[in-house]
Amino acid sequence: MKPIIVAIDGYSSCGKSTVAKALAKYAGYTYVDTGAMYRATALYVYRQLGDGALDKEAILSMLENIHIGFVKTAEGQHVTLNGEDVESLIRTLEIGNMASQISTIKEVRAFLVAQQQAMGQNKGIVMDGRDIGTVVFPQAELKLFLTAAPEVRAERRFLELQAKGETPVLEDVLADVNDRDYRDTHRAESPLRQAEDAVVVDNSNMTREKQMEYIIEVFKGRCATV
Ligand code: DC
């Protein structure tokens, strides 16, 4: 069967990476978590500038020193920043927020989008993010748009943070989810939006298993037609 490109977009904390990883495993495809690329870039910026006001010119001058990669691990993959495994360092609320902020900068997006497009040259890829079906791969054979109610996503994120030993407050996590949704959908550059030809999956009331069954059926159907 011919390999295809699967583009998965959606709001933060709606399970995009879980779906993308599982689908990539099922299909034997490469998985690319583009949020991790924005987060690793944010970590580099944070280390240089701290979390004060973002200085766009300073950030742009750093881009040439930022080299992002992925390494395979037993449970999937980890993102690297200049050769350092930064997977756990980037999964904090602080870096998530910073990633959301730097992702509004046009040049930062162009820098990462070019790398993402190069990764998809041979197809056989599942990529998740906010602009994959609209900007990175508008020609993707399968586009999925994942969504869930903000309260459901906040609860999931809250439990994930707790499991990592953090002590989150549910109201703060919900406020953060809403802020991030607003920024992701209202930014001038490549705002999060559903591609017209995307299959929408609202998983607010769906088990992971049911969701995967449905998505695998859609994937198989799409592969059969290319
Ligand atoms: O999916 P995530 O929470 O790891 O993404 C972190 C931030 O990066 C998110 O707030 C928006 C940004 N992002 C983006 O603008 N475009 C992408 N393709 C992926 C992530």
CA 107 to chain centre: 18
Phi and psi dihedrals of 209, rounded to 5?
Answer: -65, -45
Between the CA of 100 and the centroid of ligand 1 the distance, in Å, is: 6
Mutate to test the pocket of ligand 1, among 11, 34, 89, 177 (most ligand atoms within 8 A of CB): 34
Of residues 147, 120, 138, the one with CA closest to residue 195: 138
Give distance in angstroms: CA of 219 to centre of ligand 1: 24
- What DSSP letter does each residue of the chain carry, written as one string? ----EEEEEE-TTSSHHHHHHHHHHHHT-EEEEHHHHHHHHHHHHHHHHTTSS--HHHHHHHGGG--EEEEEETTEEEEEETTEE-TTTT-SHHHHHHHHHHTT-HHHHHHHHHHHHHHTTT--EEEEESSIIIII-TT-SEEEEEE--HHHHHHHHHHHHHHTT----HHHHHHHHHHHHHHHHH-SSS-----TTPEEEE-TT--HHHHHHHHHHHHHHHHHH-
Domain that holds residue 92: 5-223
Nearest atom in ligand 1 to 128's CA:
18
Contact 145, 201 (CB under 8 A): yes
Return the residue whose CA atom lies nearest to atom 3 of ligand 1.
12
Which of 17, 21, 102, 103, when mutated, tests ligand 1's pocket best, judged by the most ligand atoms within 8 Å of its CB? 103
Separation between Cα atoms, residue 207 and residue 58, nearest integer Å = 44
CATH number for the domain harbouring residue 28: 3.40.50.300
**Whose Cα sits closest to atom 10 in ligand 1?**
100
Protein residues with CB under 6 Å of any ligand 1 atom: 12, 34-35, 38-39, 96, 99-100, 103, 129-131, 180, 184
Whether pTM > 0.85 for this model: the answer is yes
Tell me how many domains the chain contains: 1
Reading the chain (226 residues) residue by residue, the pLDDT tens digits are 899 999 999 998 899 999 999 999 999 999 999 999 999 999 999 999 997 778 999 999 999 999 999 998 887 889 999 999 999 999 988 998 899 899 999 999 999 999 999 999 999 999 999 999 999 999 999 999 999 999 999 999 999 989 989 899 999 999 999 998 998 899 899 999 999 999 999 999 999 999 999 999 999 999 999 9
- Please state the atom number of ligand 1 nearest to the C-alpha of residue 136: 18
